[in-house]
Amino acid sequence: MASLPEIQAMKRALELALLGRRAVSPNPMVGAVVLDSSGNSVGEGFHEKCGAPHAEINALSEAGAAASSGTIVVSLEPCCHYGRTGPCTDAIIKAGIRKVVIAMRDPHPNVSGKGIEQLESAHIEIETCVLLDEAELLNRVYLHYLRTSRSWVTLKMALSMDGRTAAKDGSSRWLSCEESRKQVHRMRASAQAVMTGAGTVRDDNPELTARFTDQPLEEQPVRIVVSATGDLGNSRKIFGKTGRVIIAVPENVSCKLQKFQREFGADIWGFPADSTGYGFNLTLLLERTASEGFGEILCECGRGLATMLMRKKLVNTLSVFTTPLILGGEGLPAFEKLGIDSMVDSIRLENVRSSLSGTDTHLEGEVVYGTD
Ligand SMILES: NC(=O)c1ccc[n+]([C@@H]2O[C@H](COP(=O)([O-])OP(=O)(O)OC[C@H]3O[C@@H](n4cnc5c(N)ncnc54)[C@H](OP(=O)(O)O)[C@@H]3O)[C@@H](O)[C@H]2O)c1
């Protein structure tokens, strides 16, 4: 069993891992802490960006000679293969580490238990599954990517107390308090891409950039607009700031969007028209975004795109800010029909986190579909 200092070190390793969130995706976030032979923390590290040294290497180099006969506590099974960096197992063995404490095995086909086997054959003591649930939650985007080859979608919505996203006339400003809006800017800042539907672009003319963050962002998140028609009305703010803009449309309308490519440098992604005759298959879009390295996408859209994503079971986290006002049955609902006839078919959330956000409540959790 892991000792108290080892469990505390794992909590710290998970905190450190999170520091790499935007830069490593869709690779896993990893943190590591080295304890000397008396259990004192002597080195810390995390995986800072793709291609950079792994967490274990950073922690071991900070620890130096103090790592000898010590313990390394790491949030993911150490790698044992030559990728862009050398195997961490070799570095651990060379440093004279006596025990390795691991939160979760790495399901990547190049590792998948082989890292642990190598360490065991070097007579190093192994302890696994320490804070496993926390580590799996932290690396849900990576695990999802390995399983599906798709980006993880966090659908964020601001709702009235009666579940409306906008008033009857389409106005939705401001359906959340100032504190919640700041929180959304922080969410944008940590996402690699922000996605919306053409309806929101036409109605709200949003920028979808991260503003009001503690520190100015070096790079704005990529903005993705999903459209079946290619009609963005007269809205142009989405092109107004630096950073990449992608417009995803059915192939047969992509030619009419060349003007956005010429004028604003937007990328036009065309997908085969869906067999239903409406738009394109959103799964293909999320496979393409994943292949371009966008592990997690924050989606801020109206009911049209939200419904299509939900119907295809493509929403992974739902993040809802509820504000204390009522818009009545005239208001626009969060979703159109989702084929739910009975409570047994309902879509639920797990790992629910709830908090107050100014005068709003913020509720977030991972989506479990009726038939999951
Ligand atoms: N409260 C909130 O959190 C919130 C957030 C955002 C927006 N809103 C409100 O929502 C309203 C707009 O709602 P909305 O439903 O029109 O906007 P939307 O969901 O942002 O966009 C809907 C559009 O997305 C495109 N789309 C959806 N599925 C597609 C598919 N499979 N293939 C290709 N394109 C697809 C279609 O584009 P085409 O139109 O080109 O066919 C569709 O009309 C506004 O009143 C806005 O203020 C509220």
**pLDDT reported for residue 30:** 95
Domain 4-139: top CATH class:
alpha beta
Catalytic residue check, 56? yes
Instruction: Provide CATH code, domain 149-220+276-368.
Output: 3.40.430.10
Domain boundaries, the chain: 4-139, 149-220+276-368
**pLDDT reported for residue 82:** 72
**pLDDT reported for residue 202:** 95
Ligand 1 centroid, distance to 85 Cα (angstroms):
43
Residue 197 token pair: 């539907």
Dihedral over alpha carbons 321, 325, 328, 331 (to 10 degrees): -50
**pLDDT reported for residue 15:** 96
Quick: pLDDT tens for 217-267. Answer: 778 899 999 999 999 999 989 998 788 999 999 999 999 899 999 999 999
Ligand 1 centroid, distance to 137 Cα (angstroms):
29
Of residues 6, 15, 48, 56, which has the active-site annotation?
Answer: 56
Question: Ligand 1 atom closest to Cα of 249?
Answer: 33
- With a 6 Å cutoff on the Cβ, whether 198 touches ligand 1 is yes
Q: What is the pTM of this model?
A: 0.89
- Residue 166 exposed, middle or buried by CB count within 10 Å (0-12, 13-18, 19+): buried
- With a 6 Å cutoff on the Cβ, whether 181 touches ligand 1 is no
- With a 6 Å cutoff on the Cβ, whether 197 touches ligand 1 is yes
**pLDDT reported for residue 25:** 77
- With a 6 Å cutoff on the Cβ, whether 200 touches ligand 1 is yes
Q: DSSP E strands: which ranges in the chain?
A: 31-35, 41-46, 71-76, 99-104, 125-127, 152-160, 164-166, 193-197, 222-226, 245-250, 267-271, 296-299, 317-323, 332-333, 348-357, 360-368
Low-confidence ranges of the chain (pLDDT < 50): none
Closest-CA residue, ligand 1 atom 41, reads 228
